[in-house]
């Protein structure tokens, strides 16, 4: 993924009917049709506003950090909605998008994606935020100090319970702490953390590694990172009990070795 601009999609989003699994009696369905409200049982993407693409715009140098290799961040987020309409959300002067590109993922299972971004505050540092067609939905707390950043890892059902978690490394150059937040009812709750890992070095214009889910007896989501000393490629798994288990996948041999570990073997 390149440093500058563009949209980054984490996977296809399948439409889902809001009436799935609900048998409808014929007289009721006919009455709804007569009243002109049968659209209640159309797929969610047909009824609701659905985000198709997202990108950062309005480059700015008002936040002098440069952790991603240059002094340019972004002041606004542009969303393209199904049907072609666009929406522009401009941050206040104390905030920037200190990030590579927005990430699209269906976090609530309604068939339409949300947008995951990194926002940095001039005095309080970075936070992870979730946006929808109407604006910001929720966000984690800011790290608490200027020029303190976080590196997103991915979004997936990490513990197999059907709910989606978001993962990032808090201060990958300093604290080197993996944090996992569950998205539910439009909010984020931190459910697990682990120290001694990283996925970014100062000046890199990319964030290697991520989340993989390989088939087989050990299937399930695994987070691919480096250890804090940049000697090993690690796979971390969140158990249903909320514990993080780690194992060594390979020696660390540069950022490409983290990306290579995302590829499932034969």
Q: What is the pLDDT of residues 153-176, one digit of tens each?
A: 999 999 999 999 999 999 999 999
| Least confident interval from 25-39, 66-80, 186-200 | 25-39
pTM to 2 decimal places: 0.83
Q: What is the pLDDT of residue 27?
A: 37
User: With bands split at pLDDT 50, 70 and 90, how would you rate the model's confidence at 266?
Assistant: low
Nearest CA to 206 among 172, 165, 161? 172
Mean pLDDT value across the chain: 86
- CA distance linking residue 31 with residue 80, whole number of Å: 35
The DSSP result for 150-185, as a single string, is EEEEEEE-SSSSS-EEEEEEESTTTT-EEEEEEEET
Q: What is the pLDDT of residues 48-84, one digit of tens each?
A: 599 999 999 999 999 999 999 999 999 999 999 999 9
- CA distance linking residue 233 with residue 198, whole number of Å: 10
First-last CA distance in the chain:
25
The secondary structure element, H or E, covering residue 44 is: helix 44-47
Provide the token pair at 70.
């240059």
């Amino acid at each position: 993924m390149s440093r500058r601009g563009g949209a980054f999609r984490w996977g296809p989003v399948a439409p889902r009917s809001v009436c799935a699994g609900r048998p409808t009696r014929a007289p009721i369905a006919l009455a709804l049709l007569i009243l002109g409200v049968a659209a209640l049982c159309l797929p969610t993407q047909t009824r609701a506003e659905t985000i198709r693409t997202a990108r950062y715009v309005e480059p700015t140098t008002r936040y002098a950090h440069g952790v991603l290799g240059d002094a340019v961040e972004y002041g606004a987020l542009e969303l393209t909605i199904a049907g072609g309409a666009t929406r522009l959300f401009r941050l206040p002067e104390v905030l920037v998008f200190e990030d590579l590109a927005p990430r699209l993922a269906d976090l609530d299972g309604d068939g339409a994606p949300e947008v995951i971004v990194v926002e940095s505050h001039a005095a309080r540092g970075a936070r992870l935020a979730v946006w929808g067609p109407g604006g910001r939905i929720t966000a984690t707390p800011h790290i608490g100090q200027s020029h303190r950043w976080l590196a997103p890892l991915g979004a997936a059902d990490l513990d197999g319970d059907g709910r989606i978690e978001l993962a990032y490394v808090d201060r990958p150059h300093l604290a080197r702490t993996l944090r996992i937040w569950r998205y539910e009812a439009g909010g984020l709750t931190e459910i697990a953390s682990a120290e001694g890992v990283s996925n970014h070095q100062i000046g890199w214009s990319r964030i290697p590694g991520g989340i993989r889910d390989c088939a087989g007896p050990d299937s399930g989501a695994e987070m691919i990172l480096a250890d804090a000393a940049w000697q090993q490629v690690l796979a971390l798994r969140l158990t249903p009990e909320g514990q993080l288990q780690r194992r060594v996948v390979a020696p660390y041999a540069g950022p490409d070795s983290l990306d290579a570990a995302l590829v499932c073997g034969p």
